[in-house]
Structures are given as C-alpha cells and as structure tokens.
Amino acid sequence: MHQLGVARLSALVATVTLAVTTSMSRAPAASQSVSVLYAGSLVTPMESAVKTALGARGIDFEGQPGGSKELANLIRAGVRNPDVFISVDPKIVAGLGDKVASATTFAGTSLGIAWAPHSRFAALFESVLAHKTTLSQALQQPGVKIGRTDPQLDPKGAYTVEAVTTWLGRNGAAQLLGQAENPAQIFPEEDLLARVDTGQIDAGFFYRTEAIARSYHFIPLPGAAAMTDRISYTLAVMKAAPHPVTAKTFADFILSGEGRGILERAGLTYRTSMGTTQS
C-alpha cells in the first residue's frame, strides 16, 4: 500500500507539473513598453493611430505630450527619464548633451492660422481663402479671439512671434500679438486645442499637422513666415532609456516603418535625407 501511495503521489505531481508547464507555455508574452515624451503638436496621431499600431505589435505606448522646451527641462532635471524624446526644434535636443544616445531630424511642417469649422468667425476666414480679404485684416477684426502657445516653453510659441514679426514687422506684430508673452492669448498646447474646439478661441497659430489631425481649416502664413524651412521634428533615443530595445523599435517605426505613413497622413513632410547623430 505504501508503494502504491508513493506511486500515486508521484503520478499526481507529474500531472500537476505538466499542467503548469503547459499553462505557462500557452500564456501570452508580457507586453513591452516604450515611454515617449513628444511635442504636443503630435498628440492626436500619437494617442490614436500610433498607439493602436504599436499595441498591435505588443508594445504599450506610454506617451506624454507637451511643449518641447518644457519636456526637455523635465529630462534635464531628472524628473522624467523617457526612452524617446521628440522635439520640434533640433537645438532643444542638442541642449540635452550626453543624455542623448542618437538624434535624427526627420520631418517638418508649416505654421499658419487654423480654426474649427464651427468657429463663429468661420465665414470671415473662409473669405481669406477666397481672396476677398487678407489674413492680417481677418485676424485684426474686432472681437476675434486669437490663441497661441508660450514662447518660453514651446518652440511653436517662439516661431509664432518670429513669424508674425517677419510677416508684419515689429509694429504690426505688436498690434496683433501685444506683448510676446500676452496672457490673453497664451495657453498650454493641449488647452489651446480644447479652447478652439469649444469656441472659446476663434482661431489659433498652429502647425499644419495639428490642423489636419483636428479637422481644422488652415491657412499657412505668407511666404517665409510659414517657417517651412525652420520647423523640424527631431527624434532622440535617450542614453539611459529604461527600455532600450523598444526604444530602437519605436525609432525605426517612426522613421521608416508604419509610423512614418501615419505621421505623413497627419501633415508632416518627411525629409529626403535624415541626418542621425550618435553620442
């Protein structure tokens, strides 16, 4: 009986072991993660199509949008330690020094005025598209509320001040924008989009990418003021990336994979030649 009991016990242990092993082998692989701090102008494609496409590959996208300068300050101070940082200004990435493993300037866009289809001044801005009035006259129409981002925290805010000065001159820029940091016009990037959506702001200074992603109407600023030759998106893989493998996978996805098509459809113009720097 004792030998029979031992045999039964051994058989039971073997059965349980086999069941556990089989269960483990059938269990889905743990999802991988990639943490990305990125320019807030990319929030719509990043949090929708990009996130979905990565999820289908088993990669959990952990994104945080914001002004590029503000995000760089968080990285520099050690408050955030992402795998990847996407900035609108290559100089901001260069300013992070040895925190960056590699950096690639890969795409650009244009700066202009955008408004929601239901804006109370939609007809006025449509008249600009029809060449019945000028953009500067439309923006200075009494009652039109204009929004922009902080030039101290967001490259787009700095580009806006520079572009309007190029376009209208210093006096004209002062009439349209007031002070460079006019609190009546300046909002965080995500808040500005929400305010245009809800009609609190009639029109804002946006990149073409944001207008397309948000289904806004868009007019680029005239000539050199559109900043097409200046606005550049740079992707940096961080040297202390917590997930170095998925950081590289994400970079390839954005620069040459499925993510490229997503961002091109969102309004980015990819460079024919991308320069990658290593540190």
Question: Is residue 13, in this structure, part of any structural domain at all?
Answer: no
Domain total for the chain? 2
Q: Which CATH number belongs to the domain containing residue 51 in this structure?
A: 3.40.190.10
Per cent of the chain over pLDDT 90 is: 76
pLDDT of residue 173 exceeding 60, the answer is yes
Would you state the pLDDT for residue 278? 75
**213 and 151 within one domain:** yes
Determine the average pLDDT of the residues in 237-249.
97
Would you state the pLDDT for residue 189? 78
Residues in contact with 163: Cβ distance below 8 Å, sequence separation at least 6, in sequence order: 111, 205, 221, 225, 226, 227
**204 and 243 within one domain:** no
Let me know: does 270 contact 119? Beta carbons within 8 Å: no
**137 and 90 within one domain:** no
**184 and 103 within one domain:** no
pLDDT of residue 15 exceeding 60, the answer is no
- Give whole-number Cα distances, 19 to 5, 24, 29, 144, in Å: 21, 9, 18, 70
Least Cα distance to 88 among 218, 221, 219, 231 occurs for 231
**254 and 182 within one domain:** no
The pLDDT tens digits for 36-87 are 999 988 998 999 999 999 999 999 999 999 889 999 999 999 999 999 999 9
The pLDDT tens digits for 88-143 are 999 999 999 999 999 999 999 999 999 999 999 999 999 999 999 999 999 999 99
**41 and 125 within one domain:** no
Would you state the pLDDT for residue 279? 66
pLDDT of residue 12 exceeding 80, the answer is no
In which domain, by residue range, is 89 found?
Answer: 32-108+231-271
Question: Is residue 7, in this structure, part of any structural domain at all?
Answer: no
